[in-house]
């Protein structure tokens, strides 16, 4: 069984594919941040390829479950994470 390390969690390909199908049925094929379509045929290393985004981040106890995941472009996921970091910094000042 092939395994892929994603952040701190390890998720196998079969589970990843099942979660992807479930999220596409639930949320559609648009990025949850920029609302533009996601091309699911792009190679994983492409910045606009799909990624799982944790609604509640791992650092805050978020889990790798369907209820805590949404689909985003890789670039949008990175930008959204940076916005959250900045917001935390601003709130703490």
Residue 8 has a pLDDT of 45
pLDDT digits (tens, 9 = 90+) for 58-67: 888 888 899 9
pLDDT at 6 over 70: no
Nearest CA to 3 out of 85, 19, 15 is that of 15
Q: Give dist(CA 38, CA 31) in Å, integer.
A: 6
Q: What is the CATH number of domain 3-92?
A: 1.10.30
pLDDT digits (tens, 9 = 90+) for 32-52: 999 999 999 999 999 999 999
Please give the model's pTM, rounded to 2 decimal places: 0.74
């Amino acid at each position: 069984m092939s395994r892929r390390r994603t952040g701190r969690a390890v998720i196998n390909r079969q589970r990843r594919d099942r979660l992807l199908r479930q999220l596409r049925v639930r949320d559609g094929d648009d990025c949850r941040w920029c609302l533009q379509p996601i091309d699911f045929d792009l190679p994983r290393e492409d910045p606009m390829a799909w990624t799982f985004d944790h609604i509640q981040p791992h650092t805050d106890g978020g889990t790798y479950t369907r209820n805590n995941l949404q689909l985003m472009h890789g670039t949008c996921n990175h930008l959204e994470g940076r916005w959250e970091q900045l917001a935390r910094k601003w709130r703490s000042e």
